[in-house]
Amino acid sequence: MKMPVPDRGVIDRKAAIVAGLRRIVPGAGVIDAPEELRAYECDALAAYRCPPLAVVLPSTTEEVSAVLRFLHGQGVPVVPRGSGTSLAGGALPTADSVILGVSRMTRVLEVDLADRIIRVESGRTNLSVSGAVEADGFFYAPDPSSQLACAIAGNVAMNSGGAHCLKYGVTTNNLLGVTMVLMDGTVVTLGGGHMDAGGLDLLGVVCGSEGQLGVVTEATLRILPKPEGARPVLIAFGSNEVAGACVSDIIRAGVLPVAIEFMDRPCIEACEAFAKAGYPDCEALLIVEVEGSEAEIDHQIGLIRQIAGRHAPLEFRESRSADEAARIWLGRKSAFGAMGRIADYICLDGTIPVSELPRVLAGIADLSAKYGLKVANVFHAGDGNMHPLILFDANDPADLDRAERLGADILTLCVQAGGCLTGEHGVGVEKRDLMGVQFAPADMEAQMAVKDVFDPSWLLNPAKVFPLDVSAARRRGADAA
Amino acid sequence: MLTPATEAEVADAVGSARGPLRIRGGGTRDPGRPGPGEVLSVAGLAGIELYEPGALTLVVRAGTALAEVEALLAAEGQRLPFEPPDLRGLLGTAGVSTIGGVLATNASGPRRVQAGAARDAALGVRFVDGAGRVVKNGGRVMKNVTGYDLVRLMAGSRGTLGVLTEVALKVLPAPPASAMLRLEGLAPADAVAAMAAALCSPFEVTGAAHLPGDGPDAGTLLRIEGFEDSVAYRAAQLSAVLRPWGEVVADREQARVAGAWARVRDAVPFHARQGDVWRVSLRASRAAEVLARVAGACDLNDWFMDWGGGLLWMCLPEGTDLRAHAGTFDGHATLVRASDATRARIAPVPPEAPAVAALSRALRARFDPRGLLNPGLMDAA
Ligand SMILES: Cc1cc2nc3c(=O)[nH]c(=O)nc-3n(C[C@H](O)[C@H](O)[C@H](O)COP(=O)(O)OP(=O)(O)OC[C@H]3O[C@@H](n4cnc5c(N)ncnc54)[C@H](O)[C@@H]3O)c2cc1C
């Protein structure tokens, strides 16, 4: 993976740039010591690392504005950062860039239960947003598996999803407003406590823009009343095809579960070995969770049982207690950890039409055999968001290269099946060079036109999302400035 | 009038245009300032590209009639989640509403409060920008964060950034049963409080409206939808929640429930009323206060609330600028119905803060460099 050649002119001015930052953010809020910068050299895509020039951790929107105005004047690239859990390298720095982290901005600014909104500073973690309203019976719906660590800032930038978005939608569907700072220091407020834009839906394009349009400092989020109850069932099948068909039939029947999770045999075996959740020995299994009162849950599970019955399930396991429910989720929730125990892995994130599930899973199996690397599948089946995990050995550079090529082939397969490269993790640097598989030049040109408007000098997170050759002219323009 | 029948013909028509164009779907909505230009009708781009009920996805050409889409979905027991309003009765327009026009105006009805707006259901778009370039964004899958989200940018852009040629939408199952609960005689602030209590309950309210007065159609209305037993259960539970605000009347008769919500959706109370119609999106908890301010400052002909108070419909004497009377509030006011003269004088689309307006203007200049697409339609000044 290539990154642009860092600007020597910027690196040579490090001392002056750091001094300038210190004038705005006093004390420990500016980091420039090499050993401390190492904590910021990568995000959760740990295969790629590069220490930044410096890190700045402002405490207020005003400080963010002053920092950006200063760095804009200095022509220094900026990489916004939340908690650094991106799986796409979205927060990967370059040697000539300053990381602007919002981790000190974690306050809850307002909770209005009657209006069902919460306004927070963007460095607050996803789970602690729900935590702030939990005692009142509310929650914030988008729930990435990383929710204990990841920040709302990163969620907004990546338009993150989670297991429950089949029913509740992803970040963009639960985001009502932001305060953000443009690269030149201008503070902009989009949306608020009301619904929908009066003019152009700028909030809609800011969400998912991967830190390339502005630094988000505050967010107004929709909170929802907690359901009366929720219960999962586990259904085991003899083949991926049958499990896929069952997913489609459940949706078709008008049941709208909150989650339908899918695991294939390699994944089930790894999870069993690790978590011992007592999963059945089968080719594929579904975990389907429904919500409501006891009677409503019984009714929906009854329907699901009927539908599953038409697909000759090997087992239909209901949970009779909170403990049994937890055991059903246990394997799924430990899937990533289990994989991490066996080998290093790359987690892909393509989405496909649900109807293509069997065909794409068969295609992945073929590719896995061709490259000689194991692939385990665990994913949000209700919305077709796949997470193939490619297992490899990170100590072997040739293996990483092979794993990346296999990943590219799998994502290409997803696009050919009518899907996309990434359903929730974002493009970052990881899928940057595959954008041409999904988009024609005019499609990318239209997207880059948006960046031209928000960040004319292309200083915000410039080497992400768009293939380097596609964005070259724009970034060079920035170098010349 | 230009009447392209394919996307390529739209691209040709825009690419070779020498002067401004007015982009039209079915011509049933008046989305902004009147202005000059030759009409470019997208109605010729009609037809279903793909419908997969098992994946809840629908891809249609932008000129496809809304009614055709709704009929197609109904036949499979599904529907559009966002309940798009039919504004013909309100605006006195004729013709056929198109799906492209619905998305271009982000037209969303009572269920917006629970299922999201048109912008939330949109999965992908194809459009022709002002330079005649064909652009696609999003796709047909439920989750997609590949590249920037131009789908939401196009939703509500009223033809000023590009001409939509194809739209992919998420659809939902149409539940077999519904119920409506009704409270009578509440003052605006009490109605908002009652609706908030309902929306804060776990009983999945899919509509919360308040129509003032005391006729059989008036009152504070809550809607529940779902499977038969579940609706019965939740209606009973919700009645208990609402009890502090008075006697709760439940109606489970499907046609009556549907009719009542169509009245709210299409602003039927204003159809026969003289005056300009405004639609104010705001924080529900501020609705009563803003309403009182407007009522105190001018002759408010009529009003009602949707979205639990988050949407305030107001009918004002012709030519009255509601924004001058509503004070400052978290939200915005759109002029939905007024004469051409009024809409030339008072911007139908709400003005934006200077920094936001600058971004919007610059985006328009990039997507439509020659200023051909509905020029002026979304301008505030
Ligand atoms: C174990 C694990 C499980 C995960 N599970 C999920 C999952 O289920 N669903 C899912 O969607 N994702 C998942 N992720 C990915 C990741 O957690 C999300 O992308 C998350 O939103 C990133 O948040 P963050 O605060 O860590 O952002 P970072 O990693 O710090 O940054 C992510 C991106 O956001 C930008 N950014 C950060 N802060 C700002 C700001 N203030 N303004 C503008 N841009 C900003 C960065 O530049 C970068 O491009 C998972 C990751 C891990 C490690």
Whole-number pLDDT of residue B12: 98
Residue spans in chain B of domains classed CATH 3.30.70 = 177-265, 268-345
Do the chains contact at B146 and A427, CB–CB below 8 Å?
Answer: yes
Minimal CA separation from A207 to chain B, in Å: 8
For the segment B201-206, the average pLDDT, to the nearest whole number, is 97
Residue A341 pLDDT level (bands cut at 50, 70, 90): confident
Residue A343: pLDDT over 90: no
Consecutive H or E run containing A405: helix A397-416
Chain A residues touching B201 at Cβ < 8 A: 225
Q: Measured between alpha carbons, how far is A217 from A68 in angstroms, rounded to an integer? A: 12
Residue B327 region by backbone torsions, left for phi larger than 0, else alpha for psi between -120 and 50, else beta = left
Residue B290: pLDDT over 90: yes
Q: Measured between alpha carbons, how far is A130 from A137 in angstroms, rounded to an integer? A: 10
Q: Measured between alpha carbons, how far is A337 from B11 in angstroms, rounded to an integer? A: 50
Tell me, rounded to whole angstroms, the distance of Cα B229 from its chain centroid: 31
CATH fold of B177-265 reads Alpha-Beta Plaits (3.30.70)
Residue A481 pLDDT level (bands cut at 50, 70, 90): very low
For the segment B227-249, the average pLDDT, to the nearest whole number, is 97
Helices B188-199 & B228-242, crossing angle to 10 degrees? 140
Chain A nearest-CA residue for B136: A443
Residue A258 near residue A291 (C-beta atoms within 8 A): yes
Nearest to B310 among A182, A195, A355 (CB): A195
Residue B276: pLDDT over 70: yes
For the segment A47-59, the average pLDDT, to the nearest whole number, is 96
Tell me, rounded to whole angstroms, the distance of Cα A255 from its chain centroid: 27
Chain A residues touching B281 at Cβ < 8 A: 194-196, 198
Q: What is the pLDDT of residues B13-69, one digit of tens each?
A: 999 999 999 999 988 887 888 899 999 999 999 999 999 998 999 999 999 999 999
Minimal CA separation from A444 to chain B, in Å: 8
For the segment B111-121, the average pLDDT, to the nearest whole number, is 98
For the segment B187-205, the average pLDDT, to the nearest whole number, is 98
| Locus of tokens 């959740």 | A277
* Strand runs labelled E in chain B: 21-24, 38-41, 48-52, 57-61, 78-79, 122-129, 134-138, 162-170, 172-173, 177-183, 205-211, 219-226, 249-251, 276-282, 302-306, 311-316, 331-337
Minimal CA separation from B176 to chain A, in Å: 9
Q: Measured between alpha carbons, how far is A76 from B148 in angstroms, rounded to an integer? A: 23
Radius of gyration from C-alpha coordinates of chain B: 21
Minimal CA separation from B160 to chain A, in Å: 9
- What is the DSSP-derived secondary structure letter of residue B5? -
Sheet holding B57-61, edge to edge: B48-52, B57-61, B162-170, B122-129, B134-138
Residue A213: pLDDT over 50: yes
Chain A residues touching B282 at Cβ < 8 A: 194
Residue B159 pLDDT level (bands cut at 50, 70, 90): very high
Q: Measured between alpha carbons, how far is A245 from A277 in angstroms, rounded to an integer? A: 25
Q: Is the CATH code 3.30.465.10 the one for domain B7-173?
A: yes
Nearest to B82 by CA among A249, A196, A384: A196
The residue contributing the CA closest to ligand 1 atom 32 is A154
Residue A480 pLDDT level (bands cut at 50, 70, 90): very low
Nearest to B180 by CA among B68, B263, B88: B263
Whether chain B has a CB inside 8 Å of the CB on A175: the answer is no
Whole-number pLDDT of residue B327: 95
Chain B residues touching A450 at Cβ < 8 A: 148, 150, 153, 363, 366
Pocket of ligand 1 (CB under 6 A): A 43-44, 79-87, 90-91, 102, 122, 144-146, 150-151, 153-155, 157-158, 160-162, 210-211, 215-216, 336, 424-426, 461
Whole-number pLDDT of residue B300: 94
Residue spans in chain B of domains classed CATH 3.30.465.10 = 7-173
Residue B368 near residue B129 (C-beta atoms within 8 A): yes
Altogether, the residues listed in chain B come to a count of 381
What phi and psi, each to the nearest 5 degrees, are found at residue B136?
-120, 155
Number of Cβ pairs < 8 A linking chain A and chain B: 267
Distance of CA B216 to CAs A298, B213, B256, B260, Å? 37, 9, 11, 10
Whole-number pLDDT of residue B366: 98
Whole-number pLDDT of residue A229: 95
Whole-number pLDDT of residue A451: 98
Q: What is the pLDDT of residues A152-166, one digit of tens each?
A: 999 999 999 988 888
Cα(A259) to ligand 1 centroid in Å equals: 21
Cα(B2) to ligand 1 centroid in Å equals: 46
What phi and psi, each to the nearest 5 degrees, are found at residue A371?
-90, -10
Whole-number pLDDT of residue B156: 97
One-letter amino acid for residue B218 of the chain: A
Sheet holding A284-291, edge to edge: A315-318, A230-237, A284-291, A259-264, A375-380, A388-392, A344-347
Cα(A329) to ligand 1 centroid in Å equals: 23
Q: Measured between alpha carbons, how far is B224 from A437 in angstroms, rounded to an integer? A: 44
Chain A residues touching B173 at Cβ < 8 A: 251, 253-256
Q: Which residues contact A316 (CB under 8 A, 6 or more apart)?
A: A233, A234, A235, A236, A305, A308, A309
The residue contributing the CA closest to ligand 1 atom 22 is A154
Q: What is the pLDDT of residues A165-184, one digit of tens each?
A: 889 999 999 999 999 999 99
Nearest to B178 by CA among B111, B98, B133, B130: B111
Whole-number pLDDT of residue A339: 81
Tell me, rounded to whole angstroms, the distance of Cα A90 from its chain centroid: 10
* B215 C-beta neighbours (distance < 10 Å), count: 9
Residue B288: pLDDT over 50: yes
Q: Measured between alpha carbons, how far is A16 from A272 in angstroms, rounded to an integer? A: 55
Cα(A91) to ligand 1 centroid in Å equals: 8
| Locus of tokens 């050409």 | B61
What is the percent of chain B with per-residue pLDDT over 90, rounded to a whole number? 95
Whole-number pLDDT of residue A479: 46
* Strand runs labelled E in A84-214: 98-101, 108-112, 117-121, 138-139, 175-181, 187-191
Chain B residues touching A204 at Cβ < 8 A: 119, 149, 151-153, 155
A444 token code pair: 């990318």
* A242 C-beta neighbours (distance < 10 Å), count: 19
Minimal CA separation from A27 to chain B, in Å: 32
Q: What is the pLDDT of residues A410-450, one digit of tens each?
A: 999 999 999 999 999 999 999 999 999 999 999 999 999 99
The residues in A 377-416 lying below 8 A from B, measured between CB atoms, are 380, 382-385
Whole-number pLDDT of residue B376: 93
CATH architecture for residues B268-345: 2-Layer Sandwich (3.30)
